Amino acid sequence: MQSRYVPNRGLNLDYIMWLFTRISGLGIILLALIGLGAAMVMGARLQMDLPTILRWTFMPNPSHVVNSNIPDVTIGWATDFWQIMQYLVIAFVFTHAANGIRMIVEDYTGTSAWRPYIRALIALAWVGMVIIGVYVVIGSAY
């Protein structure tokens, strides 16, 4: 059985991504609580079902609540603050997930010659998902 590679001490990619994973996990929870709280304040607690509230929580944009009985969603949600919140959710979630996939793949590939290609594929998928997420936010903003 081959022993697992242990990186050197100090500031390196593994340590930075380990730290980012912990911080982004807390950031995702904080952003979800802010979105859920705002949805409740803006009337979701009385007029919406649970799936719609969860859509508001993680991607708060006016197009998610078009078919609800909220009178005018563009007043509370179509602001720069909520767009920034959406960009933060996209950045934290996709980067958190890509790093998790990278760690799983590295655990199974070891020091294989495929490792750089798999890392490049994960990075390409991450860039693609971020571009798609930003496109959705921009397209559904107003």
The domain in which residue 61 lies consists of: 13-139
Question: How far is Cα 46 from Cα 32, in angstroms, rounded to an integer?
Answer: 19
| Residue pLDDT, tens place only, 20-74 | 999 999 999 998 888 888 777 776 666 677 777 777 777 666 665 555 555 555 5
What's the average model confidence in pLDDT over 12-16? Answer: 83
The answer to whether the pTM exceeds 0.75 is no
Residue 5 domain-assigned (yes or no): no
Distances (CA, A) of 116 to 12, 82, 119: 17, 37, 5
Question: How many domains does the chain fold into?
Answer: 1
The answer to whether the beta carbons of residues 58 and 35 sit under 8 Å apart is yes
Residue 34 domain-assigned (yes or no): yes
Residue 1 domain-assigned (yes or no): no
Residue 98 domain-assigned (yes or no): yes
Crossing angle of helices 13-39 and 50-58, rounded to 10°: 130
| Residue pLDDT, tens place only, 78-132 | 677 878 888 888 899 999 999 999 888 888 887 778 888 988 999 999 999 999 9
**Tokens standing for 6?**
């242990």
